[in-house]
Chains A and B, each alone.
Chain A
Amino acid sequence: MLPVAVAVIALVYPKVFRLPYPQHVGVLVCMNALMAVAWNITGGYTGQVALGNTVFFGIGAYTSSLLLRDFGVNPWIGMLAGMALSMIAAVVLGYTTFRLRGYYFTIACIALAEIVSAIVVNTRRLGGAVGVTVPIREASLINFQFHGTNKAPYYYTILTFLAIALLVVYKMERSKLGYYFRAIREDEDGARALGVNAAQYKLIAFMMSALFTSMAGTFYAQYVMFIDPMSVLAQPVSVSMCLMAVLGGLGTLWGPVLGALTLIGISEATRVTLGGTGQAVDLMLYGLLVMLFAVFQPKGLMGMFGRLKARKE
């Protein structure tokens, strides 16, 4: 019942809200939800707090944009290429970092993301610090570009991506993968003693995560039409995915979506009402709200709903 209601609301949203701004917020929510769902596969289900996923976001954004700019490759093909490249990157990063556990793994992720960012900033061929402007093509689904004030086509595109990711995670939860991922999160040595090849399954989780993050990266590039290391290869990108998943509820299907909805909601609301004062009051309030959530809802919003449900019963 609830999923159907959510699906209906998601589908009619741009029909009801026809102005560019609310549609833009809808796009932001879906895009961030996709990234948080992707992050949740490694961070939530498998319990590996990877704070370097901006690398995959960046690879997705840069691959499609550079292929389009320099070789005229269609962005959809660029997106697939980005996804493939992200999975390769996940294998390389995974092999080098999965030996480390806990905080050390997280630190290694941050460091690797910084290295990738520094490489791009210093490579002229990749646009350097200036970034890459995505060439404008005729607006059409084939070209993955929709101009004008109606953002509904972008909205439906990212909503479809999000739906695919949620479907994959839903299937994953109920399969061997889901059980093994959670077992690794709960106790890696215990899982290995039951024949779970932890290194291999962590890598699979990382690759799945990379795949969807990369999709979001290409979408971002096609939506904003301009990318640079500050926007797609930056630590805040990695942190916000994590924040949304944690806030919504780690290792749950809908947690990251709920987290994205809440965080984007708070961030946009504070920005619209308090932004522009030049005193960053909006960011302070945003930070405060995030802290309050962290203190009072350590299991995330899904945990809160779980408690309410339990009380009713």
Chain B
Amino acid sequence: MALLEVVNLTKRFGGLVANDDVTMSVNEGEIVGLIGPNGAGKTTLFNSIAGVYNPEKGKILFRGEDITQYNPEQACQAGIARTFQIVRVFKGMTVLDNVMVGAYLRSKGEADARNRAIEVLKFTGLYPKRDYLASALTIADKKRLEMARALATRPTLLMLDEAMAGLNPTECQAAVECIRAISREGITILMVEHVMEVIMPISDRIVVLNSGKKIAEGKPEEVSADPEVIKAYLGGKYVARS
């Protein structure tokens, strides 16, 4: 059984149909990429799964449990942790304290939360910067901190919203390494991404949205060869390069 199942999901904003009858699934241990041009409904779908939006029609099942009407904290408590496209680190708190907030979800007491936080900081390489204020970090480190914070909640599914946006190639590479390492820990990953060069090699499967509808799903090479996808999004550039 799939870890996450989205069934016939429709989400409207007034007259605008942001997600139109979308069905997709994420299996345990996979890295799934969610792509599509601007306005395709990626972030809406992402937010519906994370509990920010409550869709009008359709269902979201997580480990068989209906989470369609969950709010963000319930989704996180169920085991879905997320990062934000525009970072939402706790700027006035230290890196360690940021991660502590996440760690408290499944920890007993302060010492336990601190151990968990330190463990995650070491894993993500932020440990040397643990006493920095989050506001003092570079954008790459802020994105990494969001990942660390999400990991501290011990999620089953980690959702990354444009984790590479705004990073330079070196930082991108480091982030990719980090995501691979998280995946090796047995955490399932669903990522929304704009940077094609990044998402293609890392994903086990790709889901493509366009104008709110799912237009393709499959292995990266299948998807990038799909004429529908090329027409909608990738254009000639990517195909020519691969």
- Which A residues are within 8 Å of any B CB, using their own CB? 174-176, 179-180, 182-183, 185-187, 189-198
- A194 engages B110 (CB within 8 Å): no
Chain B 83-110 interface residues, beta-carbon cutoff 8 Å to A:
84, 88-93, 97, 100-102, 104-105, 110
Residue among B50, B82, B102 with max Cβ neighbours from chain A (10 Å): B102
B residues less than 8 Å from A183 (CB atoms): 90, 93, 101
A187 to B72 CA separation, bound complex (whole angstroms) = 13
Other 4 A-B pairs with CB < 8 A, given A176-B104, A193-B50? A175-B110, A179-B104, A179-B113, A189-B84
- B101 engages A193 (CB within 8 Å): no
Name the 8 nearest CB pairs between A and B, nearest first: A190-B88, A186-B90, A195-B76, A192-B72, A195-B105, A183-B101, A194-B102, A187-B88
- A190 engages B90 (CB within 8 Å): yes
B residues less than 8 Å from A191 (CB atoms): 90, 101
A156 to B105 CA separation, bound complex (whole angstroms) = 40
Q: Say whether B130 faces chain A, with CB atoms less than 8 Å apart.
A: no
Contact of B110 among A176, A185, A189 (CB under 8 A): A176
- The chain A residue sitting closest to B155, CB to CB, is A195
Residue among A182, A189, A193, A198 with max Cβ neighbours from chain B (10 Å): A193
A179 to B116 CA separation, bound complex (whole angstroms) = 15
- Interface size class, chain B: 20 to 34
Q: Is the interface of A mostly helix, strand, loop or mixed?
A: helix
Give, as a whole number of angstroms, the nearest-CB distance from B72 to chain A: 4
- A186 engages B153 (CB within 8 Å): no
A253 to B90 CA separation, bound complex (whole angstroms) = 20
Contact of A195 among B77, B88, B90, B92 (CB under 8 A): B77
Give, as a whole number of angstroms, the nearest-CB distance from B55 to chain A: 18
Contact of B113 among A176, A195, A198 (CB under 8 A): A176
Give, as a whole number of angstroms, the nearest-CB distance from B96 to chain A: 11
B residues less than 8 Å from A189 (CB atoms): 52, 72, 84, 88
Contact A194 B153, CB 8 Å, known A176-B113, A179-B100, A183-B101? yes
- A194 engages B71 (CB within 8 Å): no
- B92 engages A194 (CB within 8 Å): no
A198 to B71 CA separation, bound complex (whole angstroms) = 11
21 A/B residue pairs, CB under 8 Å, sorted by A: A174-B110, A175-B110, A176-B104, A176-B110, A179-B100, A180-B101, A182-B90, A183-B90, A183-B101, A187-B88, A187-B89, A189-B88, A190-B89, A192-B71, A192-B76, A193-B73, A193-B81, A193-B150, A194-B76, A194-B101, A196-B101
